[in-house]
Structure 1
Amino acid sequence: MSVSIRLSRGGAKKRPYYRIVVANSRSPRDGSFIEKIGTYNPLLAKDDAKRVVLDTERAKHWLSVGAQPTDRVARFFDAAGIKERAARSNPSKGVPGEKAKERAEERAAKLAEANAAAEAETVEVVAEAIEEATA
């Protein structure tokens, strides 16, 4: 039986409240669980002490017997100093797509044309000023 430490949702519509539970990974999100080890209330301020409440001893116990925390619960454990969370690395996430690259190239071409036209106009104005000064 694979065991996970995850969030189980409670609360009314648009007023979420979560229990941090140890459950069989095949059971439904809000279904039966083995043990409740904490709570998470996202409606409270981020610096509020009651936003995330954990029973650290039980969390350490379940981690020691092989329970796998979900990503959100792993963040809570990292903040509480229970288990360090490895930083995720996805360098291709920030790379723009093909269409965005095409639009950027088009914008750069238009900007280059506008700069060339402005430079040519400046050269003409300077040439006229020189002609008037010499005349």
Structure 2
Amino acid sequence: MALKLRLARGGSKKRPFYRIVVTDSRMPRDGRFIEKLGTYNPLLAKDSEDRIKMDLDRVKHWMGQGAKPTDRVARMLEAAGVLEKQTRNNPKKAEPGTKAKERAEEKAAKAAEAAAAPAEEPAEATAE
């Protein structure tokens, strides 16, 4: 069984509240879980002590059993000092998509044609 440490969403619409849970990776996000390890309330101030609450002993236990944290939970664990900080690099994030690249190529081609067309007309006019 592949175990995950992840967030399960609760709260009403536009008012999120998350439980930090250990669950089987095949279960739905808000579905069945094995154990609740803590809570996360993103609506509180970042310096508030109640924003993230975790039972770090149980987190270490489940990680010892092979549970893998998701990216967001891993960041919380790094801030708590349970995991060592990882450097993250996503160079493709700033790269435009395929459609945007095609539009940029078309725009550059039109600009090149527009720049070449007026340059040719005066040359023909002076030759006559």
Task: Give the TM interval when normalised to the shorter protein.
Answer: 0.7 to 0.9
Q: Determine what percentage of the aligned residue pairs are the same residue.
A: 57
1:27 Cα offset (Å): 1.2
CA-to-aligned-CA distance 1:36-76 (integer Å, 9 cap, x gap): 11000011011111100011111111111110111110010
Q: Which runs of 5+ in 2 are unaligned?
A: 113-128
- Give the aligned partner of residue 49 of structure 2: 49
CA distance in 2: counterparts of 1:28 and 1:92, whole angstroms: 29
1:59 aligns with 2:26: no
Secondary structure of residue in 1 paired with 2:75: helix
Alignment match, 2:11: 11
Considering only CA atoms, is the larger Rg found in Structure 1 or Structure 2? 1
Q: Structure 1 104/40 Cα, relative in aligned 2: closer, same or farther at 3 Å? A: farther
Q: Unpaired segments of 5 or more residues in structure 1?
A: 110-135
Which amino acid in the other structure matches residue 98 of structure 1? K
CA distance in 1, matches of 2:4, 2:65: 11
Partner in structure 1 of residue 115 of structure 2: none
Name the counterpart of 2:71. Answer: 71
Please give the TM-score of this superposition, normalised by the length of structure 1.
Answer: 0.70
Give the deviation of 1:93 after TM superposition. Answer: 2.6
CA RMSD of aligned residues (A): 2.4
Alignment length, in residue pairs? 111
1:21-32 matches, within 5 Å, as 21-32=21-32
